[in-house]
Amino acid sequence: MMVVFLLGPRLSAEPTRWVRFVNGNQLAGNMIALSTDQLTWQSPLLVEDAQFNLEKVLDVVLGGKPHLLGDGAYVSVQLTNGDRLVGKLVSMEEKEIVLDTWYAGTLHLNRLMVQKVLIEDRANQLYRGPNNLEEWTATSGDTPWKLVDGALVSSGPSGVAMDAKLPSRVSISFTAAWKSNIGFKVLFLTDSIEKENGPNGYALTFQSRNLFLQSLATQMAIGQRATSSTLLESSAARFEIQANAQTGEFCLWIDGQVVEVWRDVEFANNRVGGIIHMISLGSQPIKISEIVISKWDGYIPAEARKMAQQNFEDFGMPQIGFIEANEAEAAKLAENRLFLRNGDHLDGQLLDVTGDSVRIKTPFREVNLPLVKLRNLPLLDRSLERCKRMAGDIRGWFHDGTSVVFRLEDVKHDSLSGSSQNFGKATFQLSSFQRIEFNIYEPDLEAIRRDKPW
């Protein structure tokens, strides 16, 4: 016997934008009820509520708002199947990583299915989004950006801007994804929402494997162009731009590693503002999610400066083979290297993680460090595994653009329960999801899924 749970009183049911079906049709309205095999839908276009088998449903977009997290250290755990889960780190053992999450309580993650662990300090955060399109202003292009699954998505050459009231010393972090060659530009510390070419502020351009910084006040490039194989070989990365307008120093991180440091010798002539722009440079879409703007202390460690000087000497006229070999070697070293938030690093063995502190065995002695002082937690060399695909798997998208896949096994009025080899059994709050996808492994449905702006 199939049990259907009503999702709250009808008049207060959370409105959805639409439900999409496997034939490409879509219908606006409200999701009234859900079971493991059926969806009940209310719409002004329907005479009465309608039931649809989930095998006919592609996805449903739910309402709601992003959950606001408190201060402290949070980790972002990327799994081998592409899932990414955010939470507070409880412990990190040989076989599992334990997270405390607001959306599913305690999760025990299989260590063999964890690809990367990054750490985020929210104590100095000024903004986290994107939250809605209303906070952004279109600045150029005939193809406006859209908000999809908690991310800004371009559909052609165009730009959006926001008065984020950036401080003069600021850290701007975001995740960018692209489908072919990367091509986008970030303007920051500008004083105009309407203008994309000045008269003040800075522009950081990402094009193929190349990136370069420009002063909008002088319209001149700053220092040498830098390169990153990540931009060429990957389709997504985590970026952090650290800017100090008081000294004219800038530092770029990609996936937790320093890429380049620049110095604007004419910074005093740049009358910076607090505005940020995101600009797509080509016809291929760019997706920007998990934007975090924080205060920054302006400190760039000596190691990062040394790396920048090495880039200037070795990569000014780059030889492709040399760069790839150099970056491959650096990536291998970084696998077991603990990076601190100020750019320094430690070589040693991670002994244990408990709550807000980590214990590390260095070549000299054991040390204890606060979790908020770190950028990453190194994972020892091991053969990673990928979870099995199961019949009944669904993909839930959180409001911040992260997602999780699990087999739907039970539905209550405010929760979804299921299982995955990634974390065993778990119960998720229904309100934590912005969108839910069904029939996620059907190859014949991929073309319809691609009709979305991403």
Q: Is residue 356 part of a domain?
A: no
pLDDT at 350: 78
Binned at pLDDT 50, 70 and 90, residue 322 comes out as very low
Tokens (6 digits) for 83: 């899932």
Q: Is residue 364 part of a domain?
A: no
Give the DSSP per-residue string, 126-186. EEEE---GGG-EEEE-SS--EEETTEEE-SSSEEEEEE----SEEEEEEEEEESSS-EEEE
202 with 99, same domain: the answer is: no
pLDDT tens per residue, range 207-239:
988 999 999 999 999 988 888 988 988 888 999
Final residue of a domain: which of 254, 274, 302? Answer: 302
Residue with the larger pLDDT of the pair 320 and 448: 448
CATH for 167 = 2.60.120.560
pLDDT over threshold 50, residue 259: yes
37 with 153, same domain: the answer is: no
9 with 111, same domain: the answer is: yes
**Percent of the chain, pLDDT > 90?**
45
pLDDT tens per residue, range 27-54:
989 888 899 999 999 998 899 999 999 9
Q: Which domain holds residue 268?
A: 125-302
pLDDT at 64: 67
Can you tell me the mean pLDDT for 58-84?
82
| Contact call for residues 199 and 176 (beta carbons, < 8 A) | no
Binned at pLDDT 50, 70 and 90, residue 399 comes out as confident
157 with 269, same domain: the answer is: yes
Final residue of a domain: which of 302, 333, 363? Answer: 302
pLDDT over threshold 60, residue 94: yes
According to DSSP, residue 326 is labeled H
Residue with the larger pLDDT of the pair 222 and 353: 222
117 with 129, same domain: the answer is: no
Final residue of a domain: which of 284, 302, 320? Answer: 302
Query: How many Cα atoms sit within 13 Å of 139 on the Cβ side?
Result: 21
Residue with the larger pLDDT of the pair 7 and 9: 7
158 with 42, same domain: the answer is: no
Q: Name residue 368's amino acid.
A: N
143 with 69, same domain: the answer is: no
| Contact call for residues 114 and 80 (beta carbons, < 8 A) | yes
pLDDT over threshold 80, residue 166: yes
State the Cα–Cα distance between residues 372 and 368, nearest whole angstrom.
12
State the Cα–Cα distance between residues 84 and 98, nearest whole angstrom.
14
Binned at pLDDT 50, 70 and 90, residue 248 comes out as very high
pLDDT over threshold 60, residue 376: yes
Q: Is residue 27 part of a domain?
A: yes
145 with 116, same domain: the answer is: no
Can you tell me the mean pLDDT for 296-317?
63
112 with 142, same domain: the answer is: no
Q: Is residue 293 part of a domain?
A: yes
Q: Is residue 337 part of a domain?
A: no
Tokens (6 digits) for 64: 């709601």
Q: Is residue 353 part of a domain?
A: no
Q: Is residue 18 part of a domain?
A: yes
Q: What is the mean pLDDT of the chain?
A: 83
**Percent of the chain, pLDDT > 70?**
84
Domains identified in the chain, total number = 2
Q: Model pTM?
A: 0.69
Q: Is residue 156 part of a domain?
A: yes
156 with 292, same domain: the answer is: yes
pLDDT tens per residue, range 401-410:
789 999 999 9
pLDDT at 48: 93
271 with 134, same domain: the answer is: yes
pLDDT at 316: 43
67 with 167, same domain: the answer is: no
Out of 115-124, 261-270, 422-431, least confident range? 115-124
pLDDT at 81: 94
In terms of C-beta density within 10 A (0-12 exposed, 13-18 middle, 19 or more buried), how is residue 447 classed? exposed
